[in-house]
Amino acid sequence: MNWLETIFNAQLQVAGHPLLWREVVGNVFGFASAIGGMRRRVWAWPVGIIGNALLFTVFFGVAFSNPQQETLYGQAGRQVFFIITSVYGWWRWQQLRSRAHAGEDSPAITPRWATVRERTAYVGAWVAGVVVMQWVFAAIGSGPFWAAPRWYFWCDAWIFVGSMVATYAMARGWNDFWLAWIAVDLVGVPLLWHSRFYPSAVLYAVYGALVLYGFFVWLKASRTEAVPERDLAEVSA
């Protein structure tokens, strides 16, 4: 098993900073998943799950050693919920593609904006979730083994809950999910850089450009790919 441990803990040096290869590889899978999501391909979900599993071991430093010697509870926890939500998204996109009798390389969904009711629900859940999770993260992280200033837990909670909202919105096929990701990245990139998770910080900065492009791709598709009225209720369910 020594060779597995060697691979698991493999590092590279960038500008004098040690970085885990699994952080780099996990983010490559994440980036590939984002491209697949923009193209509305079902394979985006399983590819993302692999990246999530790798990144969980990176951010949960209290259990898996990392060179930063820090634990981002929100970043680690959201990888778990990413996997759960991605299983749902994978299933949902497969079902929608099957109903449309589309081919393997066809877009799985037709994007749309969330309704006022749907948007009110997810914004309310986001705000309430941040309030609750910042308290949870502070309670977990303020012990003798790892401590951080309070703003750190607010930021981590914002990223954690916002990521869940964005992933769920992607599974539902809402244009809103791209805007949610922008809101997450505005906090996530500075926090990751501050915590010395440099590959993740750089990738999330690159995500920003991809997210903006993806938003306009989905927006155009939502305007040009009409959804029959009789199917709208089924697709929204």
**Model confidence pLDDT, tens digit, residues 166-203:** 989 998 999 999 999 999 989 988 888 887 777 678 87
What would the two tokens of residue 106 be? 């066809």
Q: 54 CB contacts (<8 Å, ≥6 apart)?
A: 22, 23, 25, 26, 29
**Domains identified in the chain, total number:** 1
Using CA atoms, how far apart are residues 205 and 179, in angstroms rounded to an integer? 15
Radius of gyration, alpha carbons of the chain: 19
Domain-located, residue 200: yes
Stretch 4-20: mean pLDDT, rounded? 67
Q: 182 CB contacts (<8 Å, ≥6 apart)?
A: 208, 211, 212, 215
152: nearest Cα among 173, 138, 166, 139: 138
pLDDT 10s digits, 46-87: 999 999 998 888 877 655 565 555 666 667 777 888 899 889
Residue type, 19: L
Domain-located, residue 50: yes
Domain-located, residue 180: yes
DSSP state of 9: T
pTM listed for this prediction: 0.74
Exposed (0-12), middle (13-18) or buried (19+): which is 165, by Cβ within 10 Å? buried
Domain-located, residue 13: no
Domain-located, residue 33: yes
Range of the domain at 85: 2-8+19-236
Domain-located, residue 14: no
